[in-house]
Amino acid sequence: MKRSFFLLAGAVLLLSSVKLSAQQSTLYTFDKKIPVPGDGGYDYVAIDEVNNHLFVSHGTVFNVIDLATEKPIAVIDGMKGVHGIAIVNEVNKGFISDGKGNSVVVVDLTTFKILKTISLPATDEDGIIYDPYSKKVFVFNGDSKSTCVIDINTLTLTKTIDLGGGPEFAVSDGKGLVFNNIEDLSSLKVIDTKTMAVKATYPLSPCGAPTGIALDPVNNRLFTGCRGNKGLSVVDAGSGKVITTLPIGAGVDAVVYDGVNKLIFASNGDATVTIIKQQSADEYSVVQTLTTQPRAKTMAFDKKTRKIYLSAPEFEPGTRKSIPGTFAVLVYKPVN
């Protein structure tokens, strides 16, 4: 009887798995690789929508790709270990977090020349975003467990805010709040950009080790990628309540939201992008597991073409050793 039960249970699980696979669609497919010269580490990628450029973090430099031709056009160098860039078109400046230089490097978005290096009283400058409400750039410092606030006009540090844990990605609602994932505490900090203080802390259980984050401003929902439990949690931005958690790939880093087509993308280090469909504010389903490349885990979304861009080198099989000369931007396009 027990044997029959387990055989039946196994059959049910198999049928469920087949049904789940059958329900998945092919919404995105591989388009091309854009070879990028040089070797070294890599982190965030970001799009300047106004100038139609893709910025690619790459060791001690940022590579710039023209999205019209999808070819490299410039290199911003002279830094020590870059991570992210905040695009601020209203002042035509980009703000680069130089984690090994303990600084933010300000560049001109059209000439790509370095305008100023802002030294910071913090270490491991990592994620960086622009908050249009306060006209400030927030750089998140992993080792210092803080965020430094920079004025976009004076190019000076105005405040350092203690976060109590290691910050990861952040997002602004454009209305006076910044939401920041705290990876080592599995929580989310809400920063009031009017008072420049932490307004609330949301526990994210069952989400473990949160990294990437995106915002649906219409439904006031946050989408946070969770490495610890291989999930994407949907969070009510007003209350901090975790609405639901969906399965994604392992080693998630970036999360982006396409509000027009109601799609959420989670880029994972296990060579997948999990694509999730939003049916309503509280209803979601995984619609595609897109195959990418091992450790291609940072991502940018082009609102004009709906393409997604990831960066990574190739690695020797079964190792973390990258193959020289293979660093590239991977491009995936919508099928329709």
pLDDT at 23: 62
Name the 3-class secondary structure at 313. coil
Asked if the model's pLDDT at residue 1 lies above 90, the reply is no
Give the model's pLDDT for residue 19.
Answer: 39
- 191 to each of 130, 195, 199, how far by Cα in Å? 13, 9, 5
Q: How far is C-alpha 334 from the chain's CA centre?
A: 19
Where are the domains positioned within the chain? 26-334
Per residue in 5-31, pLDDT (tens digit) is 333 333 333 333 333 444 678 999 999
Residue 207 has pLDDT above 90, yes or no: yes
- Please check the confidence at residue 195 and state whether its pLDDT lies above 60: yes
Query: Does the structure show a pLDDT above 60 at 169?
Result: yes
Amino acid letter for position 334: P
Residue 136, token pair as written in the block: 């400030």
The residue type found at 108 is: D
Q: Is the pLDDT of residue 281 over 70?
A: yes
**What are the structure tokens assigned to 326, written together?**
């293979």
pLDDT at residue 198, rounded to an integer: 98
- pLDDT for residue 157 is more than 70: yes
Specify the CATH number of the domain 26-334. Answer: 2.130.10.10
Nearest of 280, 188, 281 to residue 240 by alpha carbon: 188
Query: What pLDDT is stored for residue 319 in this prediction?
Result: 87
- At residue 9, the pLDDT reads 35
pLDDT tens for each residue of 104-122: 999 999 999 999 999 999 9
Q: pTM of the full predicted structure?
A: 0.92
H-helix segments, the chain: 2-23
To the nearest whole number, what is the mean pLDDT of the chain?
93
Which amino acid is present at 19?
K
Structural contact between residues 149 and 112, judged by C-beta atoms closer than 8 angstroms: no
* pLDDT per position as a tens digit, 20-76: 444 678 999 999 999 999 998 999 999 999 999 999 999 999 999 999 999 999 999
| CB half-sphere exposure, 293, CA atoms < 13 A | 23
Q: What is the pLDDT of residues 78-89, one digit of tens each?
A: 999 999 999 999
Measured in degrees and rounded to the nearest 5, phi and psi for residue 322 equal: -75, 150
